[in-house]
Structure 1
Amino acid sequence: MASRRNIPYNRLPADEDDDYDGNGGRRYDPRFDYTPRSLNKVPWKSIALAIFLLFLGCFLLLLSIFIFTGHMTGDRSQAYGLLGLGFLTFLPGFYETRIAYYSWRGAAGYSFASIPDY
């Protein structure tokens, strides 16, 4: 294995008090910056994916119901397959769309930051 000589190494602090500055507070750490604008960024791709999954799930569930009731031709096994796929696409689409709707309405405890950005 080749050695990595271009990596700058820093010594670890010998004492835990080295993490503090001289005034009794912690040193500035940019990882924990609070920027309200970045938390209110709307993840449009994720919302579009959630709406697509919601409608696809509704469509697949509707097709399975039509096969079960006999309004469409098909085997029962096809209806069970469509029912399973319908649930698998409907549930995440409904969940993410619900979070996006409550975030848009400004409900307490919901924000666009809780939706993963793809």
Structure 2
Amino acid sequence: MASRRNVRYTPLPVEDGEYSNPTKEDVDLRFAYTPKSYRRIPWKSIALALFLLLLGTSLLFLSYFIFTGHMEGDSSQAYGLLFLGFLAFLPGLYYYIGQ
């Protein structure tokens, strides 16, 4: 692809006050608004994510111990705990790491 070497760009004319320091009258309030909900830390959501993460981890460990024979139990119980462990672990991990 050929490049243009002889092109010169010139700045556009600026209206008065457009790029100067904005005052209160120049600020568009539609874009300056931030609700208080964005400034607060969602402690309940963080607690839920940690709870799901710990619950899923413990269920996964229980299923591992049943599979390896360190705990007594049927393989169907181990598969059930494995499934429930994944169901609890993945949303907790997603929220905890994603935030």
Bin for the TM-score computed over the shorter chain: 0.5 to 0.7
TM-score between the two structures when normalised by the length of structure 1: 0.55
TM-score between the two structures when normalised by the length of structure 2: 0.65
Letter of the aligned partner of 1:70 in structure 2?
Answer: G
Structure 1 residue 99: Cα displacement: 2.2
5+ residue gaps in structure 2?
1-28
For residues 37-59 of structure 1, the C-alpha deviation after alignment (integer angstroms, 9 at most, x for no partner) is 43121100000000000000000
User: 2:43 aligns to what?
Assistant: 44
User: 2:64 aligns to what?
Assistant: 65
Alpha-carbon distance in structure 1 between the residues aligned to 2:46 and 2:80: 26
Structure 1 residue 66: Cα displacement: 0.1
Which entry has the higher C-alpha Rg, 1 or 2?
Answer: 2
For residues 43-102 of structure 1, the C-alpha deviation after alignment (integer angstroms, 9 at most, x for no partner) is 0000000000000000000000000000000000000000000000000000111123xx
User: 2:87 aligns to what?
Assistant: 88
Alpha-carbon distance in structure 2 between the residues aligned to 1:96 and 1:51: 9
5+ residue gaps in structure 1?
1-27, 101-118
Moved over 6 A (4+): none
Overall identity of the aligned pairs, in %: 66
Q: Does residue 98 of structure 1 match 2:92?
A: no
Alpha-carbon distance in structure 1 between the residues aligned to 2:97 and 2:33: 26
Alpha-carbon distance in structure 1 between the residues aligned to 2:66 and 2:37: 47
The two structures, once aligned, show a CA RMSD in angstroms of 2.0
User: 2:77 aligns to what?
Assistant: 78
